[in-house]
Amino acid sequence: MKKQIENRDDLKLLVRTFYDKIRADQEIGFFFNETITDWEEHLEKLTDFWEANILGTKNYNGNPITVHNAVDKKFNHQITSNLFGIWLNLWFATLDELFEGENVEILKRRAQKMSTFLIMNIFKSREHA
Ligand code: HEM
């Protein structure tokens, strides 16, 4: 039987395994590899983000909308909803590979919602670009 997602260590493993897949992906890896210089910092931040999201801690205080609008601008507005689809497939695959239970389903739903939110804001930000 696989494990449930219960604590920060579980989220750390999830985030690390996910970004290994992301970095190796032909279509979206370069957005990350060419932007992120301090991977340890990024992985910690993403663990904070998901911990706040699922366990209700208050340790993430970034602004994902501003960050993704800036990434889209940096790459000459190349981000598409198809790329978000690839991101989500890797997220789902990592969750299913490592864990099971209610939090797996919650994390799938939250990422899906967040993707819609981010891509809509990217489109909106291009109107003012
Ligand atoms: C095609 C899809 C995506 C791409 C190309 C992408 C790319 C990136 C990159 C390059 C960064 C680092 C930015 C920097 O440090 O300057 C970043 C940060 C981040 N991403 Fe994404 N991302 C994608 C989808 C998502 C999704 C769906 C989520 C959440 C469900 C997400 C959550 C985050 C968060 C929380 C950060 C940290 C923001 C901060 O600095 O506070 N990303 N993303």
Domains and CATH numbers, the chain: 8-127 (1.10.490.10)
Direct distance between the N- and C-terminal alpha carbons of the chain, in angstroms, rounded to an integer: 50
The predicted structure's pLDDT at residue 128? 74
The predicted structure's pLDDT at residue 129? 66
The predicted structure's pLDDT at residue 1? 87
The sign one gets for the Cα dihedral 11, 70, 78, 80 is: positive
Residues contacting residue 17 through CB under 8 Å, at least 6 positions apart: 94, 97, 98
Question: 61: buried, middle or exposed (CB in 10 Å: 19+, 13-18, 0-12)?
Answer: exposed
Closest protein CA for atom 6 of ligand 1: 68
CB 129 within 8 A of CB 73: yes
For ligand 1, the distance from its centroid to the CA atom of residue 1, given in whole angstroms, is 31
CB 90 within 8 A of CB 22: yes
Per-residue pLDDT of the chain (129 residues; tens, 9 = 90+): 899 999 999 999 999 999 999 999 999 999 999 999 999 999 999 999 999 999 999 999 999 999 999 999 999 999 999 999 999 999 999 999 999 999 999 999 999 999 999 999 999 999 976
The predicted structure's pLDDT at residue 62? 96
Dist CA 19 CA 39 (whole Å): 10
C-alpha atoms less than 13 angstroms from C-alpha of 94 in its C-beta half-sphere: 23
Which atom of ligand 1 is least distant from the CA of 63? 41
Which atom of ligand 1 is least distant from the CA of 71? 10
For ligand 1, the distance from its centroid to the CA atom of residue 10, given in whole angstroms, is 20
CB 17 within 8 A of CB 98: yes
Ligand 1-lining residues (CB < 6 angstroms) = 28, 31-32, 35-36, 45-46, 49, 62, 64, 67-68, 71, 79, 83-84, 87, 111, 114-115, 118
